[in-house]
Structure formats: C-alpha cells, structure tokens
Structure 1
Amino acid sequence: MENVRIGGVPEHFNLPIHLAIENGWFESENINLKWQDFPGGSGYMKEALRNEDMDMCILLTEGIVTDILKGNSSKIVSGHVKTSLTWGIHTRTDETKIDSSSFFDKNIAISRYGSGSHLMPIVHAMMQDQSIEEKQLVEVSDIHGGISSLEQGRADIFYWEKFTTKPFVENGKLKKIGEFISPWPCFMIAATDKMITERAQTLSILLKIIHRANQHFMDLNDAPTLVAERYNLNIKDAERWYHATEWSVNGWVSNKMLEGVLYSLKEAGIVHADCTTQGIIWERNARK
C-alpha cells in the first residue's frame, strides 16, 4: 500500500474525496490516501507543500498560483472545483456604520498572509479602484480567529466562504454585509515537484479516482442531504450550494484562465510584473 498525504479545508467542496476514501476507492488501487484538514486555509497548505509535509493539497486558485510564482516547488496538477467561490463579507454583529461600499479603509482579518482571505480583499479593492495597505491586515489563523478578532475590535472585516460562515451569521456571531465572487474557478489540486517527478504514475491513478469521485458526487441524488448533515447547513442552503457548484472530471487547467488570475494578481501588486504562467501547471493537464 502506497501512502499519499493530501490536505484541504474541512468544507463541503471536498466531500467527494472523503466519500471515495470511505468507499475504499483509493485502497482498491493500492493507495492509502491520508487526509489532513487545514482549517486555516490555503496559507497553511502552501507552507505544508513547501516543507514537503504534504504530497498534495487542494487550494484556492489564486493562493497556489501566487505561491508557485514566489518559489513554491509545486505545480497545479488538476482542477477541482470549476465554479467560482462566493465570499461572504462580514463584520461584527453590532456594527451599523460599515456597509459593502465603505470598508476598504478598515482593518481586515486574514487567516494567513497569502491565503484567500488575504488575497480576495486586495483583488476586490483593486476591481473597485480602491486599495488596501498592509497595515490594515490582522492575521487571525482561521475562521474562529476571524470571528474573535471582530468581537474584540481588532479587525472590522472578514472574508470567508459564505455557506461555511452562514451558521455563524444565523447564530449572531457574524453580520454579513456583502458578497464577492472570485473571477475564476475556485479550487485547484497541487502536488509537490517531488511527487510529480518520483511518483507520476501514482499521481495519475489518484487523480483519475478523484475525477470519478467528483462525477459520482454530481450524480448523487442525496448529495445535498449529505452536505447538510456533515457540514451543519440547513437543507435549503445545501441544495442551493450543490446545484450552483460544478467539479472537475478531467483535470484540465486552462492557461487562459491562469492568465486572467495572473493579470489580477499583478494589478493588485501581489506578484511581480515580470511573472508569467510558465511552469505553473503540470503539462500533462494543461490546456490552451
């Protein structure tokens, strides 16, 4: 049995893989897929890939593109979720002066530098001809740290996936004041260069199983019920999320899409103007 370490956020987007693990799909191909949750998001996963603590991770597109361009010895090996991520924009529940058009000068909670909760406010501000300075950013580790930072007044705004935070909005821990939809597919699968170089055949088999699991999940009649039960969502929210989400079943990654990501990252000053998309994608799954 070959061990492969993979990480991702403990959110509903990765349920197809958990179901495949539970159903023994990887074991049947002699792969022991060892899952690790990363509640802190892409910032922590990028470091795990850099340190080779993980062989693979499922990260936000903008996060892994940025980190590969900054020296992470990994590549995108497959798409995972083809639809965009809808970020909820949140503040403390007793806040009355901040709305969705008046917060780019406020303190913003981020899970970690380089995470989606860090990059998305910057890209959002750029698209509104605004800007965010580094002194406005408050590092909070994860969703629970973000909620605490708002309650304590250390931060004013917190971006996080809207269905994940909805239970906290409903129980009065957060107040949602707006949404921002990322302008590209939200999740990619990345693997270390070591995994790609030394275990390419295993990687190919593993990705085929993930793609099959994604198709199976999209064909599953009771998928919204499973999502609601496992991720503390009401059934109507689970249905809305499920029917608005599409997973990758072939792994192809468009270079045109990555060019769009890179343009935004350059415009926002997150990566150097000379950066290109060369070397970001495992060429086996690249598409023009």
Structure 2
Amino acid sequence: MAPTVQPIQAFQNAASHASRLKSPALATMPSVAHPLTVGCVPEHFSIPFFHTKTSPSNPFKVTSCPSGTGQMIKMLQSGEIDICVGLTEGLVAGLAKDSEKAGFKIVGSLTRSSLTWSVAVSPQQMQAGGLFEANETFAGVDQASRIRGKTIGISRFGSGSHLIPFVIPSTSTSNAASEYKFVQLHDIAGLRNGIATGQADAFLWERFTTKKYVDSGELAVLGSVTPPWPAFLFACRTEFLESAGGEERVREFLDGVSRAINSSVYSPLAEAAGQHGVVQDGIVSEICEKFNYASADVASWFETVEFSRDCREVDASAVGRCLCALQSAGVLNAASSVEPHVFFSSATTRLV
C-alpha cells in the first residue's frame, strides 16, 4: 500500500506560516495587504519555503499546484498566483512560444542541479509478452527511448511531464513531436491510476517522488533521463513586477529563500569549515515527516541535488541549452532565441 500523502491544505498552512515569522523590515517597503502568492508543487523541493522569512510588510502565502508547471503558468496568467517555482523547460517553452502573451518573466533559480526523471510503467508490461519486455531487439538501446510511439500520461500540456519525452535521445530520424500520443491525467495520483487502468503506457516524473511507488510494486522504472540544465526557476507575472513595489517585494522574497537555503537546508558551520553541501541537522527527518519519504531516500536525494545559494542568480547559458534542446525536438520554432530583456527581469535577476 502506498504511503498516505499529507493533505495539500496542511502543506499550504505549514509553508505559509514561515512567512509570518519576523525578519528585518526593509526601510523602503510600503505597507501591503496583499500577500505575495507563491505557487509550487507540494514535494520535497519546496522545503526551503518552510523556512523562508520575509518582512512583516511583505508577507507571502504558498498555493499548492500539484499539476505542475503547466498549471502554474495558467495561474500566473490569470493572476491567481504572483510568483512560482517551475520546471525550466516548461517556463522556457512558455516564454519562447509567445513572450508577449506569456505574461511572466524569469526572476531567479531554486536549484543549480538537474532533475532526473524516471520513466514509469506497469510492472506487468516489463514481463514476458508485455509492451516493454526485455528482448535482444532492444539490447544496448536506451530503454527510455522505447516510449516513442506510445501513449504517455502527463499532468498538463506545457508541464515537464509533457516536454521531457521530446528530449529523450533516440536513434529515430523522425520528428519526436509526431511520435507521441498524450493523455492529461493532472497529478501523480492520476498518472498512477492511468497506468493501472491502461489509459497510459508510461509517464515521466521526478525520480524520488516516483520511487516509493516502485518500492511498493505499483510501478516499475523502464529508464531515466537527466536533461543538461538546472531543474527549477522562479517566474513572476509581469503585471506584479510592474506594480508599485513589486520588484522590491520579489527581490526580498528571493533573498529570503536564499537565506533559508544557506541557514536551514545547508549547515553554515560546515560551510565555514570548507565542507560544502552538508545538510543541516534535522532537515532530512523534516522532509520525511512532511512528504512521507524514507530517510535513506531523502539522504540519497540530497547527494544529487544542489540548491541555489543565491536565488536571484540565473545561468543564462543553461536556459539557452534548454531552448536549443526544445528546438531540436520540434517543440519550439527554430527561430526562437533567448532575449534577456524578454526572458528575464533585469530588476530582480543577476545573469551568470
């Protein structure tokens, strides 16, 4: 039986509580009534938000977006959220397709490390006679590429689960965009159900989120893919950035997340001693408690992830690599390019 997932409302309440903890107020920050609304997927990568502190005049609240980056882009555009942490490929694709209508800009980064995606399938489909059974035909072939031509479950169109299949290496010479059929299943629960009922042949999701369902025997992993760019960026709706005090509020929030990473996720004492990447005492058990993970899995995850130490920095070349990969896969027009004034907010972001 899969572990019970903490209710989304509890996640929102706990994360938003951190914003009410006191931190030094900015002298120029106006009195505001509207909390900065932050969208994110309620998973382990959101742990810094539970420790983020902003000034009393700049409160924030967390809104759970379990359907991922595609959902958050829609919510930015509708004004339901002000800022989000989304997958790099989803945000880049959304901006490159129509930067004017996108209505948001990249303002920072949450991680320096890439995200590893598991290709999840039914265990029965990997047995003899199954869709993905092992045989000599596929010896030496990247197993993840075997999902081409299959029905892929996704959370939403424009989310990472929709875009990453296009950048899986393949020996095929045809355009990847013509080889997939997608079915929208909304979130991890819907995707798992899609595999169980045969609505989908496979889906892609973050490795450690998927692992507990693999360990229980509900799913099997056909392969994995790790794209060569940082996993998560912050994006803010343009209207909020252009509002009175908007840019300053975003800067303060991102600085607050940076402080949380440097003081609550990673150990300052270890950093001072030259030991980089040592996590703070208690952070592993906190993630286990909040997100129902095994401690060994969280410890393994920390060996693969590197949070940004300065969340206002963005690697522009990595964004360019993502754009090129999406162009090569046929997801984006070859004429698309990274224009700093279009993609990034110069008032909040430092390009490195």
Where does structure 1 differ by over 6 angstroms across 4 or more consecutive aligned residues?
A: none
State yes or no: 1:72 paired with 2:132. Answer: no
Give secondary structure in 2 for the equivalent of 1:191. Answer: strand
Structure 2 residue aligned with 1:15? 47
Distance 1:281 1:261, change over 3 A: same
User: 1:109-128 alignment to 2 at 5 Å?
Assistant: 109-125=153-169
Pairwise CA RMSD of aligned residues? 1.8
Range that drifts further, 92-101 or 70-79: 92-101
Deviation at 1:249, TM superposition (A): 2.1
Distance 1:183 1:227, change over 3 A: same
Name the CA distance, whole Å, in 2 between partners of 1:30 and 1:128: 55
Whether the 8 Å contact between 1:126 and 1:268 is mirrored in structure 2 is no
State yes or no: 1:189 paired with 2:234. Answer: yes
Partner letter of residue 252 of structure 2? I
Distance 1:87 1:129, change over 3 A: farther
State yes or no: 1:228 paired with 2:288. Answer: yes
State yes or no: 1:202 paired with 2:249. Answer: yes
Q: Percent identity?
A: 29
User: 1:1-288 alignment to 2 at 5 Å?
Assistant: 1-2=32-33, 3-20=35-52, 25-26=53-54, 28-70=55-97, 71-95=101-125, 96=127, 97=130, 98=132, 100=143, 101-125=145-169, 131-133=176-178, 136-198=181-243, 199-216=246-263, 217-219=265-267, 220-250=280-310, 251-278=312-339, 279-284=342-347, 285-288=349-352
Range that drifts further, 165-174 or 40-49: 165-174
Whether the 8 Å contact between 2:148 and 2:179 is mirrored in structure 1 is no
Name the CA distance, whole Å, in 2 between partners of 1:158 and 1:205: 37
TM superposition score normalised by structure 2: 0.76
Deviation at 1:132, TM superposition (A): 4.7
Name the CA distance, whole Å, in 2 between partners of 1:141 and 1:129: 31
Partner letter of residue 91 of structure 1? V
Deviation at 1:218, TM superposition (A): 1.9
Partner letter of residue 5 of structure 1? T
Give secondary structure in 2 for the equivalent of 1:120. Answer: helix
Deviations 1:110-158 (A, max 9, x none): 1111110000011115687562537611111111111111111111111
Q: How many residues align?
A: 283
Deviations 1:80-139 (A, max 9, x none): 111100101110121124162522121111111111000001111568756253761111
Give secondary structure in 1 for the equivalent of 2:59. Answer: strand
Unmatched tracts of structure 2, length 5 or more: 1-31, 134-142, 268-279
Deviations 1:226-285 (A, max 9, x none): 112221111111001113211112221122111111101111111111111111111242
Name the CA distance, whole Å, in 2 between partners of 1:44 and 1:129: 32
Give secondary structure in 2 for the equivalent of 1:190. Answer: strand
Deviations 1:141-180 (A, max 9, x none): 1111111111111111110001111111122221112111
* Structure showing greater Rg: 2
Name the CA distance, whole Å, in 1 between partners of 2:305 and 2:172: 26
Deviation at 1:30, TM superposition (A): 2.1
Give secondary structure in 2 for the equivalent of 1:94. Answer: helix
Distance 1:34 1:228, change over 3 A: same
Partner letter of residue 245 of structure 1? V
Partner letter of residue 193 of structure 1? T
